[in-house]
Amino acid sequence: MSDPINPGFTPRIFSGIQPSGGLTLGNYLGALKRFAALQGQGAETVYCIVDLHAITVWQDPQMLRARIREAAAAFMASGVDPAQSILFNQSQVSAHAEMAWLFNTVARVGWMYRMTQFKDKAGKNSENASLGLLAYPALMAADILTYQATAVPVGEDQKQHLELTRDIAAKFNHDYGVGHFPITEPLIEGVATRVMSLRDGSRKMSKSDPSDASRINLTDDADTIAQKIRKARTDADPLPGAIDGLKDRPEARNLVNIYAALADETPDQVLARFEGQGFGAFKPALADIAVSALSPITAKMTEYMDDPAEIDRILGDGALRADTVATPILEKTKQIMGLLRSRP
Ligand code: AQP
């Protein structure tokens, strides 16, 4: 089958999540829930725990290993089925790092300095950031293009990196006069493409935010979820009848969007039910729906995490399958670039 937007390429979806902390409701709604829904829809699905990305900022080795397993448990508990999708951790497939080096020679330094994620994470002391943090988007382009992926489901925050991936693919194709890489489509869909912090409606919910109260973790129990929602920052006004009425109320809009995404409704449908009510009524309803959506996931995660050897087996098996797709594409890329291939 050929991809409708990139004729000649197999429809293939790739996406990944960093094991840089415990996964959050933002990762679930912006990524994991959609990863699961895209299975069996006609495209191959390749999902990756991007541990090489995580180490662009310091990670304790013991903790990192545990978080890779926990992320794998979260993927599977959210419905990613290793029989239907290729599920693995990035560092077990060396093609990612090799392709990233090739792309370091295609991407321009100026492109990297423009990335808002680099500016945010490097902060004021950017001279002291790891070189990997600056080169992060070239590795992300490698993750995607090593599979000639035609579509990538991501949250809104990754849009700029996706554009850079397209720039790298286009420059490579142009410089070498080939059509080797597809121009990958970002799939940024739904009402929860940017779930915001529960403490500050101008910041995205993030697994590495120092405040645990800013996020709902997929490992939080029902009481913790309810308590975090109860304490979420809001305002004193009643809810309007439509989402347009929340333009200047980011915290309120965030909670309504979370509700809508969890209930598979539109924000307007949610507001039609809560119009005129305050957060005293809305927050307990949101807590109920969050607990009923997340509790089964948390329970399944615990089951998977009780058997780390099985997680390791699944990730190892996924890595072998990923390798069979990635290696021929990497080899072809090297050939195009004029790198001599003569190993028997
Ligand atoms: N708040 C969010 N709302 C919607 N989608 C989100 N994603 C992350 N946060 C939100 C999506 O989850 C996928 C994996 O992201 P990532 O782990 O690779 O890195 P990130 O985007 O930098 O996520 P975090 O949680 O903020 O990680 P840290 O704190 O380590 O930087 C992506 O598709 C992302 O869009």
- pLDDT, one tens digit per residue, over 63-72 is 999 999 999 9
Quick one: how many helices (H) and strands (E) in the chain?
14, 5
The confidence score (pLDDT) of residue 48 equals: 98
pLDDT band per the 50, 70, 90 thresholds, residue 89: very high
The confidence score (pLDDT) of residue 298 equals: 97
Q: Which of 206, 214, 216, 253 to mutate to test the pocket of ligand 1 (most atoms within 8 A of CB)?
A: 206
Task: State pLDDT tens for residues 239-281.
Answer: 999 999 999 999 999 999 999 999 999 999 999 999 999 999 9
The answer to whether 258 and 25 have CB atoms below 8 angstroms apart is: yes
Q: How far is CA 266 from CA 7, 110, 259, in A?
A: 34, 40, 9
Task: State pLDDT tens for residues 108-152.
Answer: 999 999 999 999 999 988 999 999 999 999 999 999 999 999 999
pLDDT band per the 50, 70, 90 thresholds, residue 47: very high
The confidence score (pLDDT) of residue 1 equals: 77
How many A from CA of 273 to the centre of ligand 1? 30
Measured on CA atoms in the order 94, 302, 293, 210, is the torsion positive or negative?
negative
The confidence score (pLDDT) of residue 2 equals: 85
Task: State pLDDT tens for residues 333-343.
Answer: 999 999 999 99
Q: How far is CA 281 from CA 58, 229, 309, in A?
A: 42, 12, 45
The confidence score (pLDDT) of residue 125 equals: 87
**Cα(102)–Cα(104) distance, rounded to whole angstroms?**
5
Average pLDDT over the chain, rounded to whole?
96
Residue nearest to atom 12 of ligand 1 (CA): 27
The confidence score (pLDDT) of residue 190 equals: 86
Q: Please name each of the domains of the chain with its CATH number.
A: 12-187+307-337 (3.40.50.620), 212-303 (1.10.240.10)
Q: How many other C-beta atoms are found inside a 10 Å radius of the C-beta of residue 163? A: 15
